A and B are shown apart, each in its own frame.
Chain A
Amino acid sequence: MKHTLSPQRYLILLAVMLTASIGDTLLSHGMKQVGPVSVAHLGMLLAAIKNPWVITGILCLLGFFASYLTALSWADLTFVLPATAFGYVVVALLSKFWLHETVSLDRWAGIILIVCGVGFVANGPSLTQHPPLENPADATMSGAQ
């Protein structure tokens, strides 16, 4: 078991988890205020872009994409993806403890499965090393197995 990421990189992964779920939640809250948008009334989307919740949601999702791409530049896709799934767990826990919604037994089982899945991957190496020096900078930076 070897941890190959610096604390700063764990922060990026944390940003991946949080920004996606918080961004989605903010967008959904904002769009509920804006009301349904149909193809015939696309002008409604302009109103949506003026909604502060929607603006903050879009900024969060931009932050998500930036941190996701940064993570992919030094870690494997199969390492980063479980982290994005952890965002679902964050939403479920937020809805339980902040919005006081009931979380069903199915959803608790789902939360436990995702936490286990993320735990398996987080304990392993973050980047596959290929024998030829494909990207020497990576090897010195992350020192993965």
Chain B
Amino acid sequence: MIAAAPIQTSVFETWATIVTVAATAVAGDVLTAGAMRRIGDLDLIRAHSGLGGAIRAVVSSPMFLLGVVSMALSFFSLLFTLSNVEVSLAAPASASLTFLGNAFAARLFLKENVDRRRWLAALFVCAGVFLLSK
């Protein structure tokens, strides 16, 4: 697996960039999810103040904007990673790590009830994504 990386990139560098991609992706997901939880049910907001009102509610949330910045950082660090590490390792490894990281972060920061069923789902999806992108 590690041998898939080009020779000039050390194992540490390879995994540091992959972990950076996953960590910024998790930050983006958790921040946007946290923002949506604070804003409340979008269906209700839309029924009350229309689509424009719902869009305004989302775009004016600093937490949401921070989430979008994290997602952008994740995108650019993925581009950087892909220039150093082979796509067959970088893409599935970062996607799988993101799924696991999200389960941990959702429990820690969003206080979601990540029960056994959701842990199993995170593990299955993580392994599934890895196999699918091989």
Contacts and interface: CB of A to CB of B under 8 A. Distances in A.
Interface in B29-46: 29-30, 32-33, 36-37, 39-44
Interface of A: 69-70, 72-74, 76-82, 85, 88-89, 92, 104, 106-107, 109-114, 116-118, 120-121, 123-125, 128, 130, 135, 137-138, 141
A114 B124 contact: yes
Given A73-B39, A76-B33, 16 more contacts: A69-B36, A74-B42, A78-B103, A78-B107, A110-B131, A110-B134, A111-B128, A114-B125, A114-B129, A114-B132, A117-B121, A118-B121, A120-B117, A120-B120, A121-B118, A141-B44
A80 B130 CA distance: 19
A118 B128 CA distance: 11
Interface size class of chain B, counting residues whose CB lies under 8 Å from the partner chain:
35 or more
B8 interface: no
A61 to B, nearest CB: 12
B40 A72 contact: no
B112 interface: yes
Tell me which of A73, A104, A109, A141 has the highest count of chain B C-beta atoms within 10 A of its own C-beta.
Answer: A73
B53 to A, nearest CB: 13
A113 B42 CA distance: 32
B16 interface: no
Contacts of A114: 124-125, 128-129, 132
Interface of B: 29-30, 32-33, 36-37, 39-44, 58, 99, 102-103, 106-107, 110-115, 117-118, 120-125, 127-134
Contacts of A82: 121-122, 125
A81 B132 CA distance: 16
